[in-house]
Amino acid sequence: MKLNPAQQQAVTYVSGPCLVLAGAGSGKTRVIINKIAYLVQQCGYKARHIAAVTFTNKAAREMKERIAGTLGKGEARGLRISTFHTLGLDIIRREHKVLGLKPGFSLFDDQDTLALLKELTEDELLEDKDQLQQLIKQISDWKNDLVLPERAQRIAQGEKEVLHAELYARYRDHMTAYNALDFDDLIMIPTVLLSSNQAVREKWQDRIRYLLVDEYQDTNTSQYQLVKQLVGERARFTVVGDDDQSIYSWRGAKPQNLVLLGKDYPNLELVKLEENYRSSGRILKAANILIANNPHVYDKTLRANLNYGEPLTVVTANNEEHEAERVVATLVRHKFMNHAKHKDYAILYRGNHQARIFEKALMTNRIPYKISGGTSFFSRSEIKDIMGYLRVLVNPDDDNAFLRICNVPKRGMGPATLEKIGRLANRKQISLFAACFDPEIEQALPPQGAETAMVFTRWLVELGDRAQRGDTLEALKEMIRGINYEDHLYDTSPSPKAAEMRMKNVSELYRWITDMLEGDDLEEAMTLAQVVTRLTLRDMMERNNEDEESDQVQMMTLHASKGLEFPYVFLVGAEEGLLPHQSSLDEGNVEEERRLAYVGITRAQRELFFTLCKERRQYGEQLKCEPSRFLLELPQDDLVWEARQKKPSAEQRQQTGKSNIAMMRAMLNKK
Ligand SMILES: Nc1ncnc2c1ncn2[C@@H]1O[C@H](COP(=O)(O)OP(=O)(O)OP(=O)(O)O)[C@@H](O)[C@H]1O
Ligand SMILES: [Mg+2]
């Protein structure tokens, strides 16, 4: 793969810490990929001593594919390419004994966490959804800042925070009892472990001798510390990032980490890349002009390497249905004219809720599409059921999973029975599953119910044992057969066709599990417990049904589009209140929204379309919309407003953004 001199410098600098700071599409990710190959082929590193961390599973997968094209199979063996969370999970898995975790620990997703916290806060009058969300956010913030419950209790100020800290401690204790971890734990726990346990730290430093991190601007405090612990004094690492693409502050990301890095490592080698290889000159110019409205810590230049290209188009629609129709119509026409493929197009939006209408329009027009994020493979009920069973098999104390499956398919363990089991479990401080095994279950339930509970749980224990003994696939098959799951699907689906589809999903899951149990060139074979944690993590991270090869229009949120590129991009819903989003405006954080728009614009290689509505339904009301201020910040000479008669005059353009908005609103409403 070709590299320019600056990229070459970043790749070959291996004697100390290295930061590549550069704008979108300048080849940062390419540097990471080339550097891995360089380390193996030129510097004598074994692949298994190298770890590369990216932000999403999709990015990790892409990186693996690209590496496979450069390194031979043998050379690539053992290379770790993962997300931060998978790396954390890996560390926890291998160190579970030191951490006092039983091997089959469960991963709680947001819904599990919510359910548990709801239960824990019943007495505190926190049923109010907003308050619960605040609590969840607070706990997550603490974890991302590496604040353990004890410290949270010491530093908490004010009534509410004190209560939150107490609930945080209670939450942690329950998670321990359930042998469960949440998403943030996957970073916090290994980081705390590595910083407090020298032996473990040295072991991991020896295991990972060179570390590379992509999208570094979106690391939070705990991730920063994790990197620091892993690289140790030797500080052999390369991180790449772009402060203008920092879009995860709401999850605790600290773009200041880029600055902190220079302080923590005075010998940090800083490399800047200034050539953009992705986008047309116009798209890049628009992106540069937009982001110039944000304050900057670092000076960055980004020059186009490609042609100037087509103007950017702004399409105005009457309402959101019309917007979707216009996108689809434009796409169909454009695809025909340009002999393009479906997968050359991306529809990017601010929030998942916007996807549904586009989905409908695409479906009506028989255009294949794929949504990344949003409706997940794993959020389908049949997948949740089977995953629930698997979670119970590997960790019977996982009460949430047990609750999900104990009466699916129906076996007479309804709410009344469960309440009784729950009371017994509470009294004895054991899990629901354990309660079904307890001799007292015979007093707690009527004979028939006790019998059912005992038979069911014993059967699961047996299956779990078989799975552990290595007969895993057979045990799984036996499980799906044993619960008559196929019949259950036919009984509960609206049509036989739907049932068939759902059964197909179950087979797909089974196929995945088989692959993971058997392992391949890049991944070792896993145990069932490992498979279950990995799949739950995958679900949590991307909530996605992957099918990379097929020719489908790509749909995703702006957040999910980070690091990716598409020939033609529709950036939809370019309206005030949506992009920039109202919640950020309320917090006075328009800059993060501008970075988000910058990320969206810089995904486009050849052409970029914005769409907006004159009216949009919100909270059941039809509200008037104003064009996004970001549209008005773009160089108007490079924009074509499709619904408008003429470009604004130079004079008009010089007006402030605000009067521009008023002007445009007037024009939009005239029609
Ligand atoms: N030296 C080069 N010569 C030709 N093409 C290049 C070169 N460097 C990078 N590219 C291409 O430019 C595009 C953008 O590269 P890459 O995705 O690595 O950029 P990036 O800086 O990681 O972008 P982002 O900030 O969006 O993550 C890719 O298609 C890549 O293959
Ligand atoms: Mg990149």
Q: Residue 372 — very low, low, confident or very high, per pLDDT cuts 50/70/90?
A: confident
* Torsion from C-alpha of 526, 528, 529, 532, nearest 10 degrees: 100
Rounded to 5 degrees, φ, ψ at 645 are -75, -45
Q: Residue 16 — very low, low, confident or very high, per pLDDT cuts 50/70/90?
A: very high
Q: Residue 84 — very low, low, confident or very high, per pLDDT cuts 50/70/90?
A: very high
- Alpha-carbon gap, residue 393 to 329, rounded angstroms: 49
Burial of 123: CB neighbours in 10 Å, binned 0-12, 13-18, 19+: exposed
Mean pLDDT computed over 538-545 = 54
What's the pLDDT at 598? Answer: 97
Q: How far apart are the first and last CA of the chain?
A: 52
Mean pLDDT computed over 643-665 = 46
What's the pLDDT at 361? Answer: 86
Ligand minimally distant from the alpha carbon of residue 31: 1
Mean pLDDT computed over 89-93 = 93
| Helical segments of 439-581, H only | 441-444, 447-468, 472-482, 485-492, 496-518, 528-542
Q: In which element (H, E) is residue 424 found?
A: helix 415-428
Contact 395, 179 (CB under 8 A): yes
Q: Residue 544 — very low, low, confident or very high, per pLDDT cuts 50/70/90?
A: very low
What's the pLDDT at 118? Answer: 82
- pLDDT at position 545 over 50: no
Atom 9, ligand 1: which residue's CA is nearest? 27
- pLDDT at position 647 over 70: no
**What atom in ligand 1 is closest to the CA of residue 32?**
18
Tokens read off for 362: 């695409």
- pLDDT at position 639 over 90: yes
What's the pLDDT at 658? Answer: 41
What's the pLDDT at 126? Answer: 57
Q: Residue 517 — very low, low, confident or very high, per pLDDT cuts 50/70/90?
A: confident
Instruction: Please tell me the distance between residue 303's alpha carbon and the centre of ligand 1 in angstroms.
Output: 13
Q: Residue 555 — very low, low, confident or very high, per pLDDT cuts 50/70/90?
A: very high
Strongest mean pLDDT among 102-111, 207-216, 528-537: 207-216
Residue of higher predicted confidence among 458 and 127: 458
Mean pLDDT computed over 53-75 = 83
* 215 tagged catalytic: yes
Atom 30, ligand 1: which residue's CA is nearest? 27
What's the pLDDT at 120? Answer: 82
Is the torsion defined by CA of 163, 168, 173, 174 positive or negative? positive
Mean pLDDT computed over 57-63 = 83
What's the pLDDT at 374? Answer: 52
Tokens read off for 489: 């699907």
What's the pLDDT at 366? Answer: 80
Ligand 1 mutation target, pool 2, 242, 274, 278, most atoms within 8 A of CB: 278
**What atom in ligand 1 is closest to the CA of residue 602?**
26
Mean pLDDT computed over 103-128 = 76
- pLDDT at position 649 over 60: no
* Beta pairing, strands 210-213 & 50-54: parallel
Q: Residue 657 — very low, low, confident or very high, per pLDDT cuts 50/70/90?
A: very low
Mean pLDDT computed over 344-351 = 96
- Alpha-carbon gap, residue 158 to 622, rounded angstroms: 41
Instruction: Please tell me the distance between residue 214's alpha carbon and the centre of ligand 1 in angstroms.
Output: 13
Residues 6+ apart with CB under 8 A from 478: 463, 466
**What atom in ligand 1 is closest to the CA of residue 24?**
25
For tokens 């402060």, the residue is 243
Give the active site residue among 184, 215, 320, 399: 215
| Average per-residue pLDDT for the chain | 87
Ligand 1 mutation target, pool 4, 7, 20, 29, most atoms within 8 A of CB: 29
- Alpha-carbon gap, residue 16 to 236, rounded angstroms: 5
Q: Residue 663 — very low, low, confident or very high, per pLDDT cuts 50/70/90?
A: very low
Instruction: Please tell me the distance between residue 306's alpha carbon and the centre of ligand 1 in angstroms.
Output: 12
Distances (CA, A) of 457 to 385, 390, 400, 453: 16, 13, 15, 6
What is this model's ipTM? Answer: 0.99
What's the pLDDT at 470? Answer: 79
Contact 668, 614 (CB under 8 A): yes
Residues 6+ apart with CB under 8 A from 314: 574, 609, 610, 611, 612, 627, 631, 639, 640, 641, 642, 643
Give the active site residue among 184, 214, 593, 633: 214
Q: In which element (H, E) is residue 613 found?
A: strand 604-613
Q: Write the pLDDT tens digit of every residue in 156-212.
A: 999 889 999 999 999 999 898 888 899 999 999 999 999 999 999 999 999 999 999
Instruction: Please tell me the distance between residue 585's alpha carbon and the centre of ligand 1 in angstroms.
Output: 32
- Alpha-carbon gap, residue 187 to 627, rounded angstroms: 40
- Alpha-carbon gap, residue 18 to 7, rounded angstroms: 12
DSSP helix/strand/coil, 349: strand
Q: Residue 618 — very low, low, confident or very high, per pLDDT cuts 50/70/90?
A: confident
Contact 615, 625 (CB under 8 A): yes
- Alpha-carbon gap, residue 325 to 328, rounded angstroms: 5
What's the pLDDT at 316? Answer: 95
Which amino acid is residue 231, in one-letter code?
A: V
Contact 627, 633 (CB under 8 A): no
Which amino acid is residue 515, in one-letter code?
A: D
Provide the 8-state DSSP code for 164: H
- pLDDT at position 543 over 50: no
Instruction: Please tell me the distance between residue 30's alpha carbon and the centre of ligand 2 in angstroms.
Output: 7
Q: Write the pLDDT tens digit of every residue in 485-510.
A: 999 998 887 777 778 878 888 888 88
- pLDDT at position 108 over 80: yes
* 150 tagged catalytic: no
Nearest to 387 by CA among 401, 399, 400, 407: 401
**Percent of the chain topping pLDDT 70:** 91
Lowest mean pLDDT among 353-367, 614-628, 643-657: 643-657
* 214 tagged catalytic: yes
Give the active site residue among 7, 28, 399, 606: 28
Q: Which residues surround ligand 1 with Cβ inside 6 Å?
A: 2-4, 7, 22, 24-30, 242, 245, 277-278, 563, 565, 602
Q: Write the pLDDT tens digit of every residue in 414-463.
A: 888 988 999 999 898 899 999 998 999 999 999 999 999 999 999 999 99
Residue of higher predicted confidence among 620 and 232: 232
pTM for the complete prediction?
0.79
- pLDDT at position 228 over 80: yes
Helix orientation angle between 472-482 and 485-492, rounded to the nearest 10 degrees = 40
Q: Residue 132 — very low, low, confident or very high, per pLDDT cuts 50/70/90?
A: confident
Q: Residue 668 — very low, low, confident or very high, per pLDDT cuts 50/70/90?
A: very low
What's the pLDDT at 392? Answer: 94
Mean pLDDT computed over 45-68 = 88
Q: Which residues are annotated as a binding site?
A: 22-29, 278
Distances (CA, A) of 204 to 75, 194, 201, 355: 21, 8, 5, 42
Residue of higher predicted confidence among 535 and 483: 483
Mean pLDDT computed over 10-14 = 97
DSSP helix/strand/coil, 286: helix
Which amino acid is residue 504, in one-letter code?
A: K
- pLDDT at position 670 over 50: no
Tokens read off for 38: 């360089």
What's the pLDDT at 541? Answer: 59
Burial of 169: CB neighbours in 10 Å, binned 0-12, 13-18, 19+: middle
